Homo-oligomer: A and B are copies of this chain.
Amino acid sequence: MTRTMLKINGDRLNEHLQRTCSSWGAIANSTGMRRLALSEEDKLTRDWLIKECKSIGCDVKIDAMGNIFAIRPGTSKDKQPIGMGSHLDTQPAGGRYDGILGVQAALEVLRTLHENNVQTHCPVALIDWTNEEGARFPGAMMCSGVWSTKSATSLEDCYEVKDSEGCTMRKALQDIGYLGETPCDYRENGLESYFELHIEQGPKLESANKKVGVVTGVQGMKWFSVRCSGREGHSGTTPMDQRSDALVTAARFVAAVSETAKATSLGVATVGVINNDTQSQATIPSGVEFIIDIRCSTDQILEELCTAIFKSFDEIIQRENDGTSYDIVRTWGLPESIFHEDCIQAVRSAAINEVGEAQIMDIKSSAGHDAAWCSTVVKSSMIFVPSKDGISHNPAEYTTPEDCTLGAQVLLQAVLSYDKGCSPD
Residue count of chain A within 8 Å CB distance of chain B: 73
Which one, B242, B273, B274, B368, contacts A390 given CB within 8 A?
Answer: B242
| Contact (Cβ within 8 A) B293 A282 | yes
In the complex with contacts A242-B203, A242-B390, A245-B270, A278-B236 CB distance below 8 A: no
Q: Which of A218-263 contact B (CB under 8 A)?
A: 219, 221, 223, 231-243, 245, 247-248, 250-255, 258, 261-262
Q: Kindly state the separation between the CA atoms of A352 and B393 in the bound complex, as whole angstroms.
A: 67
A247 CB, min distance to chain B CBs, angstroms? 6
Min C-beta distance of A258 to chain B, whole Å: 5
A-side residues, CB < 8 A to B, are 91-93, 133-135, 138, 140, 164, 200-203, 219, 221, 223, 231-243, 245, 247-248, 250-255, 258, 261-262, 268-274, 276-286, 291, 293, 295, 365-368, 387, 390-395
Q: Does the CB pair B236–A295 fall under 8 Å?
A: yes
Question: Chain B residues near A394 (CB, 8 Å)?
Answer: 231-234, 283, 286
B233 with A391: CB separation less than 8 A: yes
Copies in the complex: 2
Contacting pair B281 A367 (CB below 8 A): no
Contacts A221-B236, A236-B201 known; A134 to B272 CB distance under 8 Å? Answer: no
Asked whether, in the complex, the Cβ of A258 is within 8 Å of the Cβ of B245, the reply is yes
A236 surroundings in chain B (CB, below 8 A):
201-202, 219, 221, 268, 293, 295, 365-368
CB nearest neighbor in B for A136? B280
B235 touches A282 (CB 8 A): no
- Since A91-B282, A202-B237 are in contact, a sample of 16 more A-B pairs with Cβ atoms closer than 8 Å, ordered by chain A residue number, is A92-B278, A134-B281, A134-B282, A135-B281, A221-B236, A233-B392, A234-B392, A234-B393, A235-B293, A236-B293, A236-B366, A236-B368, A240-B258, A240-B269, A242-B390, A252-B255
A223 partner, pick from B138, B261, B276, B281, beta carbons under 8 A = B281
